[in-house]
């Protein structure tokens, strides 16, 4: 029996075996610390309170390899950035819906898209199509209802020529 135990004892004392054992222990320790670091990084992305981030990191550190699994059961379901983006999207949708609720720019009375003037303060909101009478937006060049060309609302450059000081217009 001593002959069978002797080769095992010789192999355990072998420097190569000691090196392999030490490398395996180092690998296990590095993996353990890596899981704790992952827990810390994930907790920072999901939890605002620094004390809770620290507590989550401790849970990820102790017990080894079991802590991150425990953390994964109790961590918040979404990242903080995702929650903020969702809130911004909701605010943007609310603003778009508020724009649908049109109001007069002067008195803030509620107006319909078909109104030409505000019924409260008589402010001109839109112009009417000269052909069909439908309300037109100020930038439209053609009436979408009857396809009539709309004359520009602003004066052209020819209309804006300033007569010379002598009272005569050019070309006369």
Per-residue tens of pLDDT for the chain, all 172 residues:
455 555 655 566 788 899 999 999 999 999 999 999 999 999 999 999 999 999 999 999 999 999 999 999 999 999 999 999 999 999 999 988 877 778 888 998 888 888 889 999 999 988 889 899 899 888 889 999 999 998 876 544 444 444 555 545 444 4
Longest dimension (CA), the chain: 132
pTM score, two decimals? 0.55
Residue 32 corresponds to which tokens in the numbers above?
A: 């353990």
As a whole number of angstroms, the distance between CA 61 and CA 80 comes to 23
**CA separation, residue 32 to residues 18, 39, 62, 117, 124 (Å):** 21, 11, 10, 73, 73
**CA separation, residue 90 to residues 79, 87, 99, 121, 150 (Å):** 17, 5, 14, 33, 38
């Amino acid at each position: 029996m001593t002959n069978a135990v002797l080769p095992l004892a010789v192999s355990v004392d072998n420097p190569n075996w000691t090196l392999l054992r030490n490398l395996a222990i180092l690998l296990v320790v590095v993996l353990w610390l890596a899981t704790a670091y992952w827990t810390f990084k994930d907790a920072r992305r999901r939890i605002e309170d620094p004390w809770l981030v620290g507590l989550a990191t401790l849970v990820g550190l102790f017990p080894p390899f079991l802590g991150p699994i425990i953390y994964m059961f109790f961590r918040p379901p979404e990242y903080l950035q995702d929650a903020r983006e969702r809130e911004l999207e909701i605010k943007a949708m609310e603003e778009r819906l508020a724009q649908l609720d049109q109001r007069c720019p002067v008195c803030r009375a509620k107006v319909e898209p078909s109104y030409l003037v505000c019924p409260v303060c008589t402010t001109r909101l839109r112009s009417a199509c000269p052909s069909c009478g439908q309300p037109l937006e100020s930038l439209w060049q053609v009436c979408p209802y009857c396809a009539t060309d709309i004359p520009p609302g602003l004066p052209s450059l020819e209309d804006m020529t300033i007569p010379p000081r002598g009272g005569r217009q050019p070309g006369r």
